[in-house]
Structures are given as C-alpha cells and as structure tokens.
C-alpha cells in the first residue's frame, strides 16, 4: 500500500513537471499548427545553460530560470520573426521538417561546443528527501513540481486574464476572425511562439536537476512530450496536463511494479490504446471540414 501511494505521489510530482514541459509545445501547436520538434532541443539547450551557470556561479538551478526564461522568450521571438515566419502558409509538414532541422542544428552545436557527455546539475539538496506520512518525496522533484505548477498557473492567468492572452486564444480559435477585430496574426503568432519557447526556460532549468542530459537526449524528450500532447489531444492545454499526469503515473507505476526500462514503452502503448478509441486524443476536437475553403 505504501508502495502504491509512494508511486502515485512520485508520479504526480513528475507529471506536473511534464505538464510544464508539454504546455509550450501544445500552445504553439494550438495557435499556429506548428509541431515544434525543436522543443526538446530547446529544453536540452536551457539545461546545458543552467548547468553551466550553476557550475560557474553556484546559483540554484531552479532559481536560474528567472534568467533563462526571459532569455528563451527573446530567443523564441527572434526565431519566429527570422526563421519560422518564412514558412507561414506552407503545409504543416514543412514546419515539422524545419524545426527538426533546428533541433539537429542545436544538437550539433552542443555536440561540438560542449561535447557528447552526460551532465546533471547537483545542488546541495540533490539527494535529500522530504518524508511525509511514511513516504519519501525527493526534494528536487518537489521543488521542480512547485516551480512547474506556479509557472503553469501564471501561464493560465496570462492566457485568460490579459488582453495578450485573449488575443492568443482568439487567434488559435479563429485566425481570420481575430484579424478582423484588430488582432495582428503575425505578432500574435510571434508572441505565442515566444511564450511557448519561454516555458522551456523554466522547464530546462528544472530538467537540469531532475534528469541527466546530453546533446542527443532531445529525441527522447521530444517523443515523450509529443506523446503527451497526442494523448491529451493536440493543441489542448488541459489535455497536455492530463496526458502529462498519465505519463508520470505510467512511468512510476511501471518502475514500481515492473521495470523502469519498459516505462516509456508502456506509455506508448497507452497512447495507442487511447487513439484506438478516440482518434483525436482525450481532449482533442476533430478537425472541422471547413465549408467554404
């Protein structure tokens, strides 16, 4: 019983972090119908940056996200304006290929500059745990979870309470309608892309503590995160949340009752099972056949 509670608690903690990592991906897809395959590479890039800052200045890796987040926001904005915007209007598959190219480029740059070795930021609390009611909660997981949840809450408030957020949501639901009421599609898209990439600032910083990484780990991450948003329904933020929790639970439960080696596979099988029943994912809507175009 304790074992089960332990697995569930840990699964929720991990799921919260996954939710943050996937939120940017699903936001970008929802607004622009771009699958940002480079999202995983951005995360690894930030993790590397955080690790480097932590080593040089001993600043806490999770706190370092106050630096990396605005940095990634700017990076995302510039990237959208200079590169991604060029393929607006071409088929979505082109955006997949372009961002895949970007992911490889980042991996290659990290390979050449930082080398192909595993790294992990290990602050003082790295191996400590909280003990609550007989179960142990690793401190890094707890801190990571708290950071992730507060950023998600902030994101939610931005999307629902600010004009910018409403513009982003309007554009995702009906681009031409949004344009008619004075929301510029290009700036909104740039903004949404930047916000989506900014989540990797926090996400990557948390990642640097929780998971050892090396340049090529982005494949593993992107496939997991894409799995989450396929499971939840592409473009749906609540879907990403639920998908992330399912992945977190699938991982800890397989690790507890089976073997960690199979946990990712179990998650993929869950996705396939869900797609068999609901081909649009848990919270997804079927693409509407547009009447006049």
Cα separation, 276 vs 270, in Å, equals 10
| 154 lies in the binding site for another protein (CB under 8 A) | no
Query: Please, which residue, 70 or 108, has the CB nearer to another protein?
Result: 108
Candidates 52, 126, 156, 268: give the one binding another protein (CB under 8 A). 268
From the list 91, 85, 95, the residue with the least C-alpha distance to 38 is: 95
Residues numbered 93 to 112 that lie near another protein (CB under 8 A) are 93-94, 96-98, 100-109, 111-112
Question: Three-state DSSP class for 185?
Answer: helix
Q: Is residue 87 classed exposed, middle or buried when 0-12, 13-18 and 19+ CB atoms within 10 A define those classes?
A: middle
| 91 lies in the binding site for another protein (CB under 8 A) | yes
Contact 194, 9 (CB under 8 A): no
| 3 lies in the binding site for another protein (CB under 8 A) | no
Axis-axis angle for helices 2-32, 185-210 (nearest 10) = 150
Backbone torsion region of residue 33, taken as left when φ is above 0, otherwise alpha when ψ lies between -120 and 50, otherwise beta: left
Contact 43, 205 (CB under 8 A): no
Axis-axis angle for helices 2-32, 237-257 (nearest 10) = 150
Contact 187, 29 (CB under 8 A): no
Query: Please, which residue, 80 or 145, has the CB nearer to another protein?
Result: 80
Candidates 47, 191, 222, 244: give the one binding another protein (CB under 8 A). 222
Closest approach of Cβ 20 to another protein, in Å? Answer: 19
| 75 lies in the binding site for another protein (CB under 8 A) | no
| 78 lies in the binding site for another protein (CB under 8 A) | no
**Are β-strands 129-132 and 135-138 bridged in parallel, bridged antiparallel, or unpaired?**
antiparallel
Cα separation, 149 vs 21, in Å, equals 11
- Total residues at interface with another protein (CB under 8 A): 57
Candidates 3, 90, 150, 174: give the one binding another protein (CB under 8 A). 90
| 184 lies in the binding site for another protein (CB under 8 A) | no
Which span (58-66, 203-211, 219-227, 247-255) binds another protein, by CB under 8 A? 219-227
Candidates 56, 58, 127, 289: give the one binding another protein (CB under 8 A). 289
| 223 lies in the binding site for another protein (CB under 8 A) | yes
Q: How many residues does the chain have?
A: 293
Contact positions toward another protein, by CB under 8 A?
29, 33, 35, 37, 83, 86-87, 90-94, 96-98, 100-109, 111-112, 116, 219-220, 222-223, 226-227, 229-230, 234, 259, 261-262, 264-265, 268, 271-272, 275-276, 279-281, 286-289, 291-293
């Amino acid at each position: 019983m304790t074992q089960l509670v332990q697995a569930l608690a840990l699964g929720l903690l991990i799921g919260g972090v996954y939710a943050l990592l996937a939120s940017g991906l699903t936001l970008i897809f929802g607004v622009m119908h771009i699958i940002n395959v480079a999202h995983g590479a951005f995360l690894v890039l930030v993790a590397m940056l955080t690790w480097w800052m932590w080593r040089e200045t001993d600043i806490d890796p999770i706190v370092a996200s106050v630096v990396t987040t605005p940095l990634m926001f700017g990076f995302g904005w510039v990237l959208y304006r200079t590169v991604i915007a060029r393929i607006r209007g071409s088929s979505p598959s082109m955006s997949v290929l372009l961002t895949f190219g970007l992911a490889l480029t980042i991996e290659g740059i990290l390979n050449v500059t930082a080398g192909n070795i595993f790294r992990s930021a290990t602050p003082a609390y790295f191996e400590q745990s909280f003990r609550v009611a007989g179960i142990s909660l690793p401190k890094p997981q707890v801190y990571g979870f708290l950071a992730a949840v507060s950023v998600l809450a902030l994101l939610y408030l931005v999307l629902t309470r600010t004009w910018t957020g409403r513009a982003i949501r309007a554009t995702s639901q009906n681009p031409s309608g949004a344009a008619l009421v004075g929301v510029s599609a290009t700036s909104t898209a740039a903004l949404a892309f930047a916000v989506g990439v900014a989540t990797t600032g926090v996400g990557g910083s948390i990642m640097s503590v929780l998971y050892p990484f090396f340049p090529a780990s982005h494949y593993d991450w992107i496939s997991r995160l894409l799995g989450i948003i396929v499971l939840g329904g592409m473009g749906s933020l609540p879907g990403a949340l639920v998908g992330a929790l399912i992945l977190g639970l699938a991982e800890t439960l397989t690790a507890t009752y089976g073997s960690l080696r199979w946990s990712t596979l179990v998650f993929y099988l869950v996705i396939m099972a869900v797609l068999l029943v609901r081909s649009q994912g848990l919270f997804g809507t079927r693409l509407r056949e547009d009447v006049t175009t």
